């Protein structure tokens, strides 16, 4: 047998034994035999570097060389799921799916593992890239670190996998490994990890892959993506993926009714405590990929999936004082400062009190013993007071403030809202800095060389007082500040200059108009030709735009009625920001100009969201409801009977998917 043949044999056997031991939990050989084989392979690879392979089992031991991470754009965005904490909201989700599909469907229920998200790409059966979630659009390439995780296959089994696909999952630290790790850190007098999730996340981002290898991370994979998947069913695809060598949870279940879902939730709410890894809820997904496509996405999450979170842990601790924070919109948030208490794996010292009504309903006094929970086991909040422990030394009653804690301006509470607001939009420091931080954020102008600390330094040094001032900064202005050299200053100026290329819809979002999030900004940018048309738009015109209601329309009008905001926009226009819609050279027309179109039913060629985009590209407007103004209905299979009846009553034309494609061709 040649050296190359020996190396190939050892690699193949070690991959198989690794899978048997770490995924199937049924080893065929002893640890010593495995180690001897690994040692032999390492020696052969060292002596014969011409046979180097990035997916060799020897890659799992890691390297002690430091390595900076590069950012990689996700082929498919990694969106977060909508969360719910009640069975009634699960029922609402189920009914929305029923209404959206108007056909039979299955729900795949699975455990929500509490780790750090990862995306793995395989080409021709080999792992080629592992990327963290990051901001959902881009993440860090941590391939070398992930190769040390023995439950993640480097080479797939069999030969019936797609030539190129992505699989996503959760990197975890098992409880027993977490506890042992903290014992070792305590013995070395190092800071302890707060919980397994933090430990897994910190380990995965270590720049020393040999450290990652020593931590014994685990992984469960739960989502397969690609153009040539074996089945239409999510559940069926994962069962197939388990045959390729992936560690897939054996606790997934297909549900055919709400009763099935609730039985699954109730069982795992108790049984999860016996699992070897941390979980914090249940994920419910429409099983059919075709149906998933038709349901589509909101700006932040899929409409075909939801996460049910288990009820949070609760702890009792003392309230020492209440402080107040000012947000970029001027909203005032009261914060409880507490005696430190351990809760769901972390030490909690502060908790949100949300608004004046909650403070009043709790009847809070300084010195009270209060119950603290973590909403979704993430954000601490006070849920009650132990009034039986109140004694003679009870402090004063907590009363909501009447003036801004930063600038001293009077606070106002708008009708129908729970929050109080500082009205000093243009001169309240936290609001100004908050608006600048929002403006430079990744989903807005994406000036990634800046951050909150630099914004704070620029503002305190009187270099900027609003977002337009960013575009007047020079390298000389910046490099004079503490801990700011020539290179850093140049990077910032280059980043600011590059932001002038950001498209109209993101510039609109960056302005921070109240109620104008990413989705609304996109709708506006596709419905008006430029910022001048938007500035002059009235409430009725704005309400004719898809998904723009009375509240959003009023907010937009009020923003542009403020002279200071108009001046700010003019200053931003003068420095070259994109304040008009750029039409693409291809695939655009005016064939649907002036037409209001309603979409209903299930489609085969495109998803609903894709059809909405196509309608807008061809000059049409999407409408969510049928009226006398509706031009026609684009109908797929199983159109809702109520819409069909209303269309017939009003004499609205109904066209099929094929007819629509012919119409715009």
Nearby residues of 535 by Cβ (< 8 Å), 6 or more positions away: 560, 566, 569
CB 634 within 8 A of CB 613: no
Q: Which residues of 239-278 are buried (b: 16+ CB within 10 A; e: fewer)?
A: ebbbebbbbbbebbeebeebeebeebbeebeeebeeeebb
For residue 48, give Cα distances in angstroms to 2, 6, 9, 440, 660: 12, 12, 15, 51, 62
The residue among 528, 537, 540 whose CA lies nearest residue 561 is: 537
Which entry of 4, 67, 99, 112 is annotated as an active-site residue?
112
The secondary structure of residue 311, as a DSSP letter, is P
Nearby residues of 140 by Cβ (< 8 Å), 6 or more positions away: 69, 70, 71, 72, 131, 132, 134, 205
Residue 205 annotated as catalytic: no
Tokens representing residue 494 in the block? 């280059």
Tokens representing residue 30 in the block? 């002893």
CB 625 within 8 A of CB 651: no
Tokens representing residue 491 in the block? 């990077």
For residue 595, give Cα distances in angstroms to 520, 537, 602, 620: 20, 19, 22, 5
- Tally of CB atoms within 10 A around 26: 8
Q: Is 335 helix (H, G, I), strand (E, B) or coil?
A: strand
CB 410 within 8 A of CB 428: no
Burial class of residue 642, CB neighbours in 10 A (0-12, 13-18, 19+): exposed
**What's the rounded Cα separation, in Å, for the pair 124 and 650?**
55
Burial class of residue 507, CB neighbours in 10 A (0-12, 13-18, 19+): buried
β partners of residue 283: 110, 307
Q: Is 403 helix (H, G, I), strand (E, B) or coil?
A: strand
Q: Rounded to the nearest 5 degrees, what angle is found at the Cα of 504, between the Cα atoms of 498 and 507?
A: 65
**What's the rounded Cα separation, in Å, for the pair 662 and 665?**
5
Active-site residue list: 112
């Amino acid at each position: 047998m040649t050296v190359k043949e020996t190396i190939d044999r050892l690699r193949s056997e070690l991959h198989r034994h690794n899978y048997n031991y770490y995924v199937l939990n049924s080893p065929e050989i002893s640890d010593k035999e495995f180690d001897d084989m690994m040692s032999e392979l390492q020696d052969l690879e060292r002596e014969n570097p011409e046979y180097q392979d990035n997916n060799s089992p020897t890659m799992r031991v890691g390297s002690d060389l430091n390595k900076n991470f590069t950012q990689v754009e996700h082929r498919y965005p990694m969106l977060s799921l909508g969360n719910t904490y009640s069975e009634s909201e699960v029922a609402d989700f189920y009914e929305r799916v029923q209404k959206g599909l108007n056909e039979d469907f299955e729900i795949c229920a699975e455990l929500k593992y509490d780790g750090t998200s990862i995306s793995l790409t395989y080409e021709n059966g080999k792992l080629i890239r592992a990327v963290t979630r990051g901001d959902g659009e881009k993440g860090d390439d941590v391939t070398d670190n992930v190769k040390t995780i023995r439950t993640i296959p480097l080479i797939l089994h069999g030969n019936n996998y797609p030539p190129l696909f992505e699989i996503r999952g959760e990197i975890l630290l098992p409880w027993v490994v977490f506890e042992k790790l903290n014992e070792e850190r305590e013995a070395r007098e190092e800071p302890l990890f707060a919980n397994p999730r933090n430990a897994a996340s910190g380990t995965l981002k270590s720049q020393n892959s040999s450290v990652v290898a020593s931590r014994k991370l685990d992984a469960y994979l739960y989502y397969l993506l690609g153009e040539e998947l074996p089945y239409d069913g999510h559940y069926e695809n994962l069962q197939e993926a388990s045959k390729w060598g992936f560690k897939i949870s054996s606790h997934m279940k297909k549900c055919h009714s709400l009763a099935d879902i609730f039985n699954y939730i109730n069982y795992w709410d108790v049984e999860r405590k016996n699992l070897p890894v941390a979980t914090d809820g249940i994920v419910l997904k429409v099983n059919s990929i075709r149906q998933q496509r038709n349901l589509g996405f909101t700006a932040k999450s899929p409409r075909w999936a939801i996460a049910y979170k288990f009820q949070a842990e609760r702890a009792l601790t003392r309230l020492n004082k209440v402080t107040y924070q000012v947000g970029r919109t001027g909203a005032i948030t009261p914060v409880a400062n507490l005696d430190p208490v351990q809760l769901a794996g972390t030490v909690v010292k502060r908790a949100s009190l949300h608004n004046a009504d909650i403070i009043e309903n709790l009847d809070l006094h300084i010195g009270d013993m209060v119950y603290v929970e973590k909403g979704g086991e993430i954000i601490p909040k006070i849920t009650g007071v132990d009034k039986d422990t109140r004694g003679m030394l009870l402090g004063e009653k907590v009363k909501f403030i009447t003036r801004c804690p930063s600038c001293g301006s009077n606070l106002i509470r708008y009708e129908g809202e729970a929050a109080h607001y500082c009205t000093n939009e243009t001169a309240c420091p936290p609001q100004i800095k908050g608006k600048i931080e929002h403006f430079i954020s990744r989903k807005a102008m994406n000036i990634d060389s800046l951050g909150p600390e630099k914004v704070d330094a620029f503002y305190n040094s009187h270099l900027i007082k609003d977002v337009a001032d960013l575009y007047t900064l020079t390298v000389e202005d910046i490099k004079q500040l503490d801990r700011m050299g020539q290179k850093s200053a140049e990077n910032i100026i280059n980043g600011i200059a590059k932001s002038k290329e950001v498209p109209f819809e993101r510039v609109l979002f960056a302005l921070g108009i109240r109620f104008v999030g990413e989705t609304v900004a996109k709708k506006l940018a596709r419905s008006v030709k430029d910022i001048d048309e938007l500035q002059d738009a009235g409430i009725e015109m704005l309400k004719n735009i898809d998904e723009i209601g009375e509240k959003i329309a009023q907010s937009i009008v009020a923003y542009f009625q403020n002279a200071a905001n108009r001046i700010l926009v003019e200053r931003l226009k003068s420095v070259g920001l994109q304040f008009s819609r750029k039409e693409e050279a291809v695939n655009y027309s005016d064939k649907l100009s002036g037409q209001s179109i309603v979409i209903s039913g299930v489609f085969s060629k495109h998803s609903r969201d894709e059809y909405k985009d196509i309608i807008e590209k061809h000059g049409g407007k999407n409408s969510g409801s049928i009226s006398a103004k509706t031009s026609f209905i684009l109908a797929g299979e199983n159109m809702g009977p109520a819409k069909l009846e209303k269309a017939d009553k009003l004499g609205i034309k109904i066209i099929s998917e094929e007819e629509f494609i012919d119409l715009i061709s």
